Amino acid sequence: MPSPDRPLRAGGRLERVLRAGLFAVTAELNPPDSADPQAVYDAALVLSEVADAINATDASGANVHMSSFGVCALLATAGYEAVYQMSCRDRNRIALQGDLLGAAALGVKNVLCLTGDDVSAGDQPQARRVFDFDSLQLLRTIQIMRDEAKFLSGRAITSPPQVFLGAAENPFAPPLEWRPQRLAKKAAAGAEFIQTQYIFDVPVFERFMGRVRDLGLHEQLYILAGVGPLRSPKIAEFMRSKVPGVVIPDTVIARLDKTPKERWLEEGITICVEIIEQVRQIKGVAGVHVMAYRQEEMVAEIIRRAGLFPRVPPAALQPSAPANAQRS
């Protein structure tokens, strides 16, 4: 694991849990198709009890929902720990830098940098792509803004954003042998924590983590293994054929197929809990990121059954000023 002696970047709960060497839990909040903030608060209330931070997705799958910025603003002002997902698909560098300052000003302490799914994957494929940056360039830009207190133009930032920087990684995307090198590039660009794509093939993930350790990346990054429940064989088939980057072995789908329909949900939760138990034993895994599309109660059940609840109370975490906090 990275050295606990590193200075805190933002001092949020997620960062302090990881710095303390505790097994972290993050969970995904899928933004509503609504302008009603109560839908966000209802989901957050459930997730906040079982997770150290709540991710707000940024038009995942290239489908429109309430913006990640809007969800994170609601979460932060209500006192929740948010992870702001920033996708490069829809905004250029000017908008991305401005949004980061706005999010930091609202109290958002964690940022996850994503290139973003192509518009062809969504329900409005006629939309124009931006992709002024990719995730590596966005990471480096935010690192410069935070640590050097300047925009890409070189103009000074009077009060730089103090954020804990994250990125995503898919251990299952071919060519598999290249994925750890891609992860190394993200570490070099400024990533401090990583959330992976769904893990259903643990042996492949174990081999990925072996190469990660060979490169010493587990000492540079906090790696959170992505997990989630499968609610039915049909959904499993849909995910592996339609959701970019998701790999589900035949053995997992066959297991659901053999399960009576009335027990599909229970079996999906059991499979997820088993995967959590397995990845917890892999050296270099610092936590899990739980994803269950608009099924917050299911996330809570998984975390409890995996023995990851109750979470450590905030008072038990060592408070510390973030790096560069003295800047005005």
Q: What is the pLDDT of residue 320?
A: 56
2 belongs to a structural domain = no
Which amino acid does the sequence have at 93?
R
20 belongs to a structural domain = yes
pLDDT in tens, 249-262: 999 999 999 999 99
When pLDDT is cut at 50, 70 and 90, the band that residue 188 belongs to is very high
Q: How far is CA 299 from CA 6, 49, 193, 288, 303, in A?
A: 31, 11, 21, 12, 6
Dihedral (CA of 131, 244, 73, 148) sign:
negative
Q: What angle do CA 155, 139, 6 make, to 5 degrees?
A: 95
Number of structural domains, the chain?
Answer: 1
- In which domain, by residue range, is 224 found? 13-316
Q: What is the pLDDT of residue 61?
A: 85
Mean pLDDT of all residues in 197-217: 97
277 belongs to a structural domain = yes
Q: What is the pLDDT of residue 13?
A: 96
Q: CA 285, CA 223: separation in Å to the nearest integer?
A: 5
Q: What is the pLDDT of residue 325?
A: 47
124 belongs to a structural domain = yes
- Predicted confidence (pLDDT) at residue 57 exceeds the cutoff of 50: yes
When pLDDT is cut at 50, 70 and 90, the band that residue 107 belongs to is very high
CA-closest candidate to residue 226, choices 28, 13, 57:
28
Mean pLDDT of all residues in 251-275: 96
Q: What is the pLDDT of residue 122?
A: 87
Percent of the chain with pLDDT over 90: 85
Q: What is the pLDDT of residue 328?
A: 28
- Predicted confidence (pLDDT) at residue 133 exceeds the cutoff of 50: yes
Q: CA 37, CA 53: separation in Å to the nearest integer?
A: 18
When pLDDT is cut at 50, 70 and 90, the band that residue 199 belongs to is very high
Q: What is the pLDDT of residue 327?
A: 34
Q: What is the pLDDT of residue 324?
A: 55
- Predicted confidence (pLDDT) at residue 316 exceeds the cutoff of 90: no
Q: Prior bond to 7 cis, omega within 30?
A: no
324 belongs to a structural domain = no
When pLDDT is cut at 50, 70 and 90, the band that residue 4 belongs to is confident
CB 228 within 8 A of CB 272: yes
Q: CA 246, CA 244: separation in Å to the nearest integer?
A: 6
Tell me the sheet residues that pair with 193.
Answer: 166, 222
Q: CA 278, CA 167: separation in Å to the nearest integer?
A: 23
Q: How far is CA 62 from the centre of its chain?
A: 17
Mean pLDDT of all residues in 303-328: 73
6 belongs to a structural domain = no
- Predicted confidence (pLDDT) at residue 321 exceeds the cutoff of 70: no
| pTM across the whole model | 0.94
- In CATH, what number is assigned to the domain containing residue 305? 3.20.20.220
Mean pLDDT of all residues in 244-251: 90
Mean pLDDT of all residues in 235-247: 88
Q: How far is CA 19 from CA 3, 99, 223, 242, in A?
A: 8, 27, 12, 36
pLDDT in tens, 58-77: 988 888 999 999 999 999 99
When pLDDT is cut at 50, 70 and 90, the band that residue 187 belongs to is very high
Q: What is the pLDDT of residue 294?
A: 78
- Predicted confidence (pLDDT) at residue 326 exceeds the cutoff of 50: no
Q: What is the pLDDT of residue 260?
A: 96
3 belongs to a structural domain = no
166-198 as b/e: b if 16+ CB within 10 A: bbbbbbbeeeeeebbeebbebbebbbbbbbbbb
- Predicted confidence (pLDDT) at residue 156 exceeds the cutoff of 70: yes
State the average pLDDT for the chain.
Answer: 93
177 belongs to a structural domain = yes
Which amino acid does the sequence have at 302?
I
